[in-house]
Chain A
Amino acid sequence: MSAALLFAVFGLTGVGIYLITSRSLSRIILGFVLLGHAAVIALVTAGGPPGEAPIAGRSDDPIANPLPQALALTAIVISFGLTLFMLALAGRQQTLSGSDLVEDDLEDRRLAARAEREAALEELREAALAEEEES
């Protein structure tokens, strides 16, 4: 296994993670593409040593393992399709909110607000009880 390829995987994964944890949807897409590259290289690297192109009868030298290549090809095309879809989503987000920032999930924020409200209510109730006991 080549350390150079490992380095490429390291760099692409690292930068990819850095980008997808950002709030800007367009940066997340960039990160997604980089992670896709990292995954494909990892797949091919794990598949075995390099060799001649896997085309039968072209050369007598050993060929590279073709199976991970087929899987990688599928992976490339799928991440291609998803990237285009995410771009469309980013654009739609822009038309709706005026920015491409990822907001916190509405349902989750509602839940958090409910928890806060209930905690506050409980405090009020306890305060009222304490007052009642005093008087």
Chain B
Amino acid sequence: MIWWLLVLHLLGIGVAVLGGRRGIRTGLIAAAVAPAITTVWALTQIIDGDTEATARLMWVDALDIGFEFRIDDVALLMTLLVSGIGTLVFINATGYFSADADGGTRFPATLLAFSMSMLGLVWADSIWTLFIFWEATSVTSFLLVGHKNTYADARNSARRALVITGAGGLVLLAGLLILAEQAGTSTISEMGAVSGAAATTAAVLVMIGAATKSAQFPFHVWLPGAMAAPTPVSAYLHSATMVKAGVLLVAVLSPVFVDVGAWKWTGVAFGIASMLWGAIGALRQTDAKLILAWGTVSQLGLLITLFSLGSAKAIFAGTSLLLAHAVFKAPLFLVVGEVDVRTGTRDITKLDGLNRSMPIAFGVAVVAGLSMAGVPPLLGFPAKEAAIEAALGLSGTERAVALPTIVGGAVLTVAYTTRFLIGTFGPGLEGRTEVAPRRVSMTVATVTLGALSVLGYVFAPAATALVRAAAIESNEKAEVYELIRWPGLKTAFVISVIVVVLGAILGWFLSQRSIRVPDTVGANAADEMVDGVLSWAPRITAAIQHGSLPVYLATMGFAMVVAAIPFVFAIETDHLVAWDNPAQLALAVLTVAAALAGAFVGSRLGATLTLGAVGVCVSGLFVIHGAPDLALTQLVVETVIVVGFVVGLGALTTRFPETRDSWRTVRLVLSVLGGAGVTMALAASASDPSGTPPIEALTDGAKDIGGGKNIVNVILTDLRALDTLGEVVVLATVTAGILALARVVREEQQVSEGAVATRTGYALISTPSPTVRTAIRIASPFAIVLAAYLFFAGHNNPGGGFAAGLVLGSTVILRTVAGLPRRVKPRKAVTIGTLTVAFVALVPILFGDPFLDMWIGSIDVPMLGTIKSGSALVFDLGVTAIVVGLITASIEGLSTITDQVMADARKARDGATT
């Protein structure tokens, strides 16, 4: 059933949007259907007495994450309030809004979405579900408070409400997570009582979350501002339902936190402060709606106090007041809405004689108001009696704190109620108020709600059953209490009488004098905080996200240095040797010297040459280490890179630009530290060798699986061919990128000056010398043979597809240098290579073998004998083709770009001389 009701609400939201197109009133009526059905369902559940319903839809079972709902008696009572009052509010709103009001598609659907979120929150049985719907009510409330989105006031208030309740939601989430950890489950109904330091933290965090939602001092500042919402919204969200979410949370979790002292005292502190400050606030307002809003803060304070105290009597009193408050506060708000609509003002100093001109509204207000003041024969009376009884039933400190404040709060409540009634409906300070005609829909809702206060008193046993069932969920001992219509001359009753008399006198006295409305200090402070955050955020962003690449890199570098610090302590020097071979030391020193020279030499060409030197020295280090494949590849790579630098950068100004000295110092420090950090981490890695390298397994695997002797090559083309596949994809992508960049430049050239005849880029490296040209012409076939040798030998000896491709690519470069025709089309080479590699990778799948499974056979190659290999060789061929394509594309692309750079420079020079 839970799912059906939720789906019904979702459908209702859609229908409300559609209906809203025909006017806001149609939309509201369409939206009222879902709450009405839910109310009827809740009533039948209560009458049946078979109340518990559950629903689960798990998402991540192992983590207990999913939607979990459980409707117990508390939830059922809240459902009745949410949907029942909701239905009446929708009906009332059709009268509140004029037929041609804006927001027809927006307002009813949002209000229904809120109603649904509230139901989800009430029904939630896991912390995740609870939190999701908790936040959903914050968001929908934000939209509803900001309904009049063309008013700055409404927007500010909505923002304030969202920031406070949203922040509270985060605090709540933290608290719930700790709680779930402590309780060992995220399902609320399965949680046992928790205790300990972590539980105390959780209790305080959850209580703060509840306090923000239930507008407890000092978080109450958003509630008066939320009165910028249309009055039906205020009646619904800000008195009867949403603000009760915090109270409900305290009620539901009070058995869990029963052993945590901080839970009780945090709650009582919030509650008492709000009860008194809210009531004082209500006495200082002249806007009828704000009087009620501040009164709500006070009432919620009383509720939080009672539920935090947690004794059976207090829980029973709290639950009774929860019901009574919803039933009297909603009609009071709706009456104020009617006054506003029919007179155009809510200012009690301007309203005059409404007791005669709006008799029905006056009647409802008196009934609901007296219920709020706790006067019989109305539901508020037994509820307030229960509260005073509960306070009397306490002992020690609890009694000393709770009794006077609850009684004092009650006096103030009677006072602001009296002032509200006299101010709104009694004689005003300025002449008689004009009143527009009554609207039936508004009256229907207010009268129905008003009547409930009477019915609740008359049928007190029924109300008792409802309240008692709910209260038992929080404290089992609550089952002995009941709502008593006429207690007789008991202590609580005597106190009640005194409270009403004192309060009425105070209220009457205050209503006879004009009061200066205080500044909204708290709200302003909250706004300034939000404004401050908003104005500092871009400044902080601008400072951190400054956009300077060198500074970003330096920041990362320093972070790396910090991360390397622990490694210093993990180094064991007995694993270190000075060198493996004296030549190694010489080469290492040469490498570093060449690198340093490259960094500090001023000319670009010089830097390029030192780069080549570094590459050669590193190759030497590989030879000494026993890595001929690396050495071979490194050598050829270095050659191509140097050529690339000359072609690509040759056209740039020959000297590097100067940099600022201060920044240079930072860079120098970072360089030394960064180098040291990496070295330390590396040294530490050798200090604790965990196990030995699986060299034997790799050797055997190379022979048995790959059928080759060169283990590195077999790893690349067979055992770990997926790495290689990824790598050649990178190379193919890079080729495409270079070709694309060159194409853009070429198209710009053609647009600006037609086809460019000069080939200055090639001129940088090509030579007019006929000797060299002839030498290269003779050498190129040999180079091709060498490449073929490396390719086939690679499976058993140093070499392989990369080396072959690099040699072939170098041949292409050589022929370019000589000005000889180039036969390789880079795009074609890369395409063929990629297709070949993909083919070898995919074909095994057709035969039911794994992706990239290699097939082995024997091939006879002249001069090399029989080679035991197979599809790995074809795979390597694809790699070769891609490498050749990349090198050719680079030479072509870089020279095209360089052509353009030089043409630009020439144009600038010509421009300067003419």
Contacts and interface: CB of A to CB of B under 8 A. Distances in A.
Contact of B678 (A23, A42, A89, A115): A42
B627 A102 contact: no
B865 interface: no
- The interface centre, meaning the residue of B652, B653, B720 with most chain A CB atoms within 10 A of its CB, is B652
Interface in B873-892: 883, 886-887, 890
A101 to B, nearest CB: 6
Contacts of A29: 645
A104 B542 CA distance: 12
B755 interface: no
Nearest to B682: A42
Interface stretch (B331-339, B426-434, B452-460, B578-586): B578-586
Given A41-B618, A91-B898, A17 B580 contact: no
Contact of A19 (B599, B629, B695): B599
Interface in A3-60: 3-24, 26-27, 29-30, 33-34, 37-38, 40-42, 44-58
A50 B580 contact: yes
B618 A40 contact: yes
Contact of A81 (B716, B730, B904): B730
A65 B698 CA distance: 9
Interface in B538-556: 538-539, 541-542, 545-550, 553-554
Interface stretch (B37-45, B706-714, B762-770): B706-714
B741 A88 contact: yes
Given A22-B667, A87-B894, A70 B607 contact: no
Contacts of A78: 727, 730-731
B683 interface: yes
Contacts of B557: 17, 21
Given A14-B671, A63-B699, A87 B630 contact: no
Interface stretch (B357-365, B506-514, B795-803, B815-823): B795-803
Nearest to A114: B538
Interface in A80-121: 80-85, 87-92, 94-95, 98-102, 104-109, 111-112, 114-116, 118-119
Given A17-B557, A57-B709, A5 B621 contact: yes
A30 B710 CA distance: 32
B273 interface: no
Interface residues of B, number: 119
B741 A76 contact: no
A90 B358 CA distance: 81
Contacts of A81: 730-731, 734-735, 886
B615 interface: yes
Nearest to B582: A4
Given A11-B675, A63-B695, A76-B630, A92 B904 contact: no
A12 B671 contact: no
B674 interface: yes
A77 to B, nearest CB: 6
Per DSSP, chain B at the interface is helix
B720 A54 contact: no
Given A1-B576, A21-B554, A74-B723, A10 B676 contact: yes
Nearest to A92: B741
Given A18-B599, A84-B890, A102-B550, A95 B901 contact: yes
A24 B657 contact: yes
A73 B897 contact: no
B648 interface: yes
A111 B545 contact: yes
Interface of A: 1-24, 26-27, 29-30, 33-34, 37-38, 40-42, 44-58, 62-67, 69-74, 76-78, 80-85, 87-92, 94-95, 98-102, 104-109, 111-112, 114-116, 118-119, 122
9 contacts: A4-B578, A14-B676, A18-B671, A19-B599, A22-B550, A56-B711, A77-B731, A90-B652, A100-B649
Ranked nearest first, the 10 interchain pairs of A and B with the lowest CB-CB distance are A108-B547, A11-B592, A14-B675, A91-B897, A64-B626, A105-B547, A87-B648, A112-B542, A115-B538, A104-B547
Interface of B: 535, 538-539, 541-542, 545-550, 553-554, 557, 575-581, 584-585, 587-589, 591-592, 595-596, 598-599, 604, 607, 611, 614-615, 618, 621-622, 624-630, 633-634, 637, 640-641, 644-645, 648-649, 651-653, 656-657, 659, 667-668, 670-672, 674-676, 678-679, 682-683, 685-686, 693-695, 698-699, 702-703, 709-712, 715-716, 720, 723-724, 727, 730-731, 734-735, 737-738, 741-742, 744-745, 748, 796-798, 802, 883, 886-887, 890, 893-894, 897-898, 900-901, 904
